[in-house]
Amino acid sequence: MSDIIGIIHSEHGTTMRVLARLEKEIGRFERGKRPNFELLKDIADYFLAYSGQCHHPREDVLYDALAKKSPGAAEIIGDLREEHEALARQAGTFADGLASILMEVEISRPAFVAMARNFIARQKHHLALEEKNLLPLARAKLSKEELEEITRRAEDALSGYGACRGGKRLARALEKASQE
Q: Pick the closer one to Fe ion by CB: 57 or 166.
A: 57
Nearer to Fe ion, 21 or 56 (CB): 56
CA distances from 33 to 8, 27, 28, 121 (A): 35, 9, 5, 22
Is the CB of 25 or the CB of 59 nearer to Fe ion? 59
CB of 129 to Fe ion, least distance (A): 8
Residue 91 burial class via C-beta count within 10 angstroms: exposed 0-12, middle 13-18, buried 19 and up: buried
Binding site for Fe ion (CB under 5 A): 59, 130
Q: How far is the CB of 107 from Fe ion (least distance, A)?
A: 29
Instruction: Name the minimum Å distance from CB 71 to Fe ion.
Output: 20
